[in-house]
Structure 1
Amino acid sequence: MFPIFITMICSFVMLLGCADTSEKKIKIGLSISSLRVERWPKDRDIFVEEAEKLGAEVIVQSADEDVNKQNEQAENMITQGVDVLVVIPQDSIAAAQIVKAAHAEGIKVIAYDRLIRDSEPDLYISFDNERVGYLQAEYLIRHKPKGNYFLLGGDPGDNNAQLLREGQLRALQQAIDNGDIQFVADQKHWAVDWDPRDALNKTEQVLTQTNNQIDAVVASNDGTAGGVIQALEGQNLDGKVLVSGQDADIAACQRIVKGTQTMTVYKPIKQLAKEAAHAAVALAKGETVQNANQTVNNGVVDVPSILLTPIQVDKDNLDEVVIKDGFHTREKVYQTQ
């Protein structure tokens, strides 16, 4: 009887030991500035699927382009006990509050696609946005080496918009110095919240001010490019004025086929979202993040960074790059369904 009793006690202790050493399921908070932009639902779905494959649970919140709402949602996820916060900030400076609140609770923060400034995020993962801007303007200047250029920036509160502008100016600087191109509107126009309607209104203003004398528009993403092209259509200038973009949105790809949008910059978001999911799980486990071999200064620190490579896309390589990668189907792009 006594040996049986001892055996039962040992078995119970072993069971307790197993319970104590079992791994707690990792919980990740994904804070998205908005789901109104076409690409963000894709990022979300790929990220969640990959994180779940790695055994993590993901809580997703969208702030609907509201800075205060995003901060409140992040606080709520911190309260729910997430191990890592992945943040697509609505405002690069305001999101510093999220980083500080998370760090106060020992929670790691990844800045996804947009850098968070004035704080110390644990990782920044994005495409090289200065390079994106360079590719936009470089394509246009190669195809329109002289003329009047209209630079339309993205949201002024988004650090990416500033990086894009740096790259755009770097590509255009030689032509500016040579007097080959002139800026209309003195580089002062930015599309608030990346809103296509704001892009439309500002392009209409500039067209009126210049008596339609515009040769190229450096639009910073595909959404704003759509607003620009709508304004050009009103003056029968669509297809005659070069227009850039980025993100390879389905509408932009259709416009490239049609000839009203000149180019876009494709950013393979499948790779970005999967890398971010793996990085989030690694940080939650206290492991070193693979491929974080670069840094980007955010005004406070050099943030460890993973920067992926963007690709110029026009009508000549649209099939080879965007469709072959599975980002859109050929039927949707060419509207043959």
Structure 2
Amino acid sequence: MFVKRFIRTALAMLCLSLLAFSGCSAEKGIPSPPSGKEQGASIKIGYSMGSTVQERWLRDRDIFVARAKELGAEVLIQNANNDNEEQMKQVRYLIEQGIDILVITPHDAEASAESVRLAKRAGIRVICYDRLIRNAGADLYISFDNVKVGELKAKALLEKVPKGNYMIIKGAPTDYNSFMLYQGYMNVLREPVNKGDIKIIYETSARDWAYEEAFSYVEQILEEGADIHAIIAANDTLAHAAIEALSEKRLAGEVAVVGQDADLSACQRVVEGTQLMTVYKPIDKIAKAAAEAAIRMVQGEDLKVEETIFDGTFQVPYLRLDPIAVTKDNMMDTIIKDGFHRLEDIFINVPREKWPQIP
């Protein structure tokens, strides 16, 4: 009898010790890995990208890799090309390569939860880069404030077109950013819509943020004789598509269009007058911060992230960065001053006598 009690007691103490060591969270129900590698130890980061179709993602990748290498880490890059099944295979491959941490920009916010679970089961922490993975309990979400991005775009449009017919081209329905952007739009537009000043007469989503989908949709409604005064496009690729469709009806510059990401072509359209504004998200900041956070997490450091975001099930630590609204008026003080794009590249289609003067 004494021996049985002794065994039961020993087993209980062992379980408690294991729980304490694993850092098991009652809220998440997912054990965190042990404290991490020592300073100076070789670190291998797996970076799974949903796509690199848009201009900005190549910049994100290159800056992230460069900063990680500066800090002595190796980065394994995989690009899923907007294919969720392929992204799952690539995450499995990265785990098999012995990565210490997984950084993932998901193609599908819901389906990618399985990628997080796979990494967690392998004792690997997960950072959601720019796009949140739903119901997964990732260890960190780092992004610009997507709700604020939506608000900045809607405010700029409302100032330019306080009354009229609006069209909204949302991003991919599989990307949770699309939901947050829309929340931002409506935070600004709800009151003028309720008053009847603004009518949202068309809404659509562009699968995989595809240019072709946005172009076809705008082209179609223009052929139907729609009277559109303003278009909110989820990003600059979709804004470009809308403006190209408008140009075929000689309406480019007549219909106010907004986007985000500050792609070079978008900045050119802004100074040329065919796009009202874009939202600048300094990629240098987010990519470097993500690389630094990944290494610190592997080394067991506390990032002291104070904010969280609800992923549908769990509260995820949220490292939030501020976006910047950019128009022709502040292009010099933002995009050009930061070196994000060069003045001569942005103003290439503008007569040189109309270029801003550099102090």
Q: Same fold (TM over 0.5)?
A: yes
Q: Where do 5+ consecutive residues of structure 2 fail to align? A: 1-37, 353-359
Note the 1:150-169 alignment, pairs <5 A.
150-169=167-186
Give 1:301 shift. Answer: 0.5
Q: Residue in 1 aligned with 2:19? A: none
For residue 220 of structure 1, what is the aligned residue in structure 2? 234
Task: State the partner residue of 1:8.
Answer: none
What one-letter code is carried by the residue in structure 2 that aligns with 1:307?
Answer: R
1:251 to 2:254 alignment: no
The one-letter code of the counterpart of 1:205 is Q
Aligned counterpart for 1:70 among listed residues 68, 80, 87: 87
Instruction: Report the Cα distance in structure 1 between the residues aligned to 2:139 and 2:309, rounded to whole angstroms.
Output: 12
Matched letter for residue 274 of structure 1:
K
Any idea what SS the aligned residue of 2:182 has?
Answer: helix
Match of 2:216 among 193, 198, 201: 201
Q: Give yes or no for contact 1:184–1:206 (8 Å, CA) kept in 2.
A: no
Following superposition, the deviation at residue 24 of structure 1 comes to 3.1
Question: Match for 2:344 among 304, 313, 331?
Answer: 331
The number of equivalent residue pairs is 313
SS at 2:313 equivalent: coil
| SS of residue matched to 2:169 | strand
Q: CA deviation at 1:223?
A: 0.3
Structure 1's unaligned 5+ residue stretches are 1-20
Structure-2 separation of matches of 1:76 and 1:249? 32
Q: In structure 2, what residue type is equivalent to 1:287?
A: E
**Counterpart residue number, 1:280:** 294
Per-residue Cα deviation, 1:283-325 (whole angstroms, up to 9, x for no partner): 11111114x2211101010100101000110110111100111
Q: Distance in 1 between matches of 2:52 and 2:115?
A: 19
Following superposition, the deviation at residue 34 of structure 1 comes to 1.0
Is 1:230 aligned to residue 247 of structure 2? Answer: no
Residue matched to 1:322: 335
For the 8 Å contact 1:28–1:86, the answer to whether it is kept is yes
Paired residues for 1:1-337 under 5 Å:
23-185=40-202, 187=203, 189-209=204-224, 211-290=225-304, 292-335=305-348
1:15 aligned partner:
none
Shift of 1:123: 0.2
Distance in 2, matches of 1:22 and 1:164, equals 39
Q: Which residue of 2 aligns with 1:16?
A: none
| TM-score, with length taken from structure 2 | 0.85
Q: RMSD over aligned Cα, in angstroms?
A: 1.3
Give the drift of 1:22.
Answer: 8.5
Instruction: Percent identity, please.
Output: 45
2:39·2:299 contact (CA, 8 Å) conserved in 1?
no
Q: Match for 2:310: what amino acid?
A: N
Q: SS of 1:145's equivalent? A: coil
